[in-house]
Amino acid sequence: MSSLGRLNLPKKVALLGGSFNPAHEGHLHISLMALRRLKVDQVWWLVSPQNPLKPVKGMAPLGERLASARLQAKHPCIKVMDLESQLGTFYTAHMLKALTQQFKGSKFLWVMGADNLEQIPLWKDWEKIFSTVSVAVFDRPGYALKALSGKAAQRFSKDRIGENKAGSLVMLAPPRWVFLHGVLHPASSTQIRASKNTK
């Protein structure tokens, strides 16, 4: 927690979690869109020590993934950190609870792609994520229909706001969420790893 304690925390922060195995232009693309459309001060890339839903095999060491993310971030308002390690949490819902309780002066929202909205019911205590912070979902190629008809979207259908209100999302009391359409980026960590393995 020491590095967090030294941060001059901004008022409005979007959180983009993931394995970043490796970080790529798609992560940067969604972050730049978040800065613009969600009107936040910063986007934090939260590099997970080990996603419980992903195999350990093929997962690069945390330090290597952090370095990859820092090389890719390329923006003064994008910060890369291993927040789960610092907070001592293993699941997103628990990390968000600890973060919001410790830093009440800042407003946080969770950012994810449509692919994660589709599978978030597999996450531990996933409903608590929506009740702890607002959520912004960015469209990804081939996922919109499945995501918006999935369990999470249906469970919180009454809490969805229009895209034209996305700029106020971070200040709204959860549960609130938005689905953002826009210019899609095709990059994925899985495809990048696969292409490296075939060379």
What's residue 65's pLDDT?
A: 93
Return the amino acid letter for 2. S
pLDDT digits (tens, 9 = 90+) for 130-157: 999 999 999 988 899 999 999 999 999 9
| Alpha-carbon separation of residue 110 from 55, 60, 136, 172 (angstroms) | 23, 24, 6, 13
The answer to whether residue 197 scores a pLDDT higher than 60 is no
pTM: 0.86
Cα 150 off chain centre by = 19
pLDDT digits (tens, 9 = 90+) for 70-89: 999 989 999 999 988 888 89
Tokens read off for 49: 């020590």
Whether the CB-CB separation of 132 and 176 falls below 8 Å is answered with no
Of residues 16 and 192, more confidently modeled: 16
Whether the CB-CB separation of 125 and 94 falls below 8 Å is answered with yes
Q: Give the Cα separation of 199 and 104 in Å (integer).
A: 48
List for the chain the helix, strand, coil content (%; round to 5): 45, 15, 35
Domain boundaries, the chain: 2-197
CATH number of 2-197: 3.40.50.620
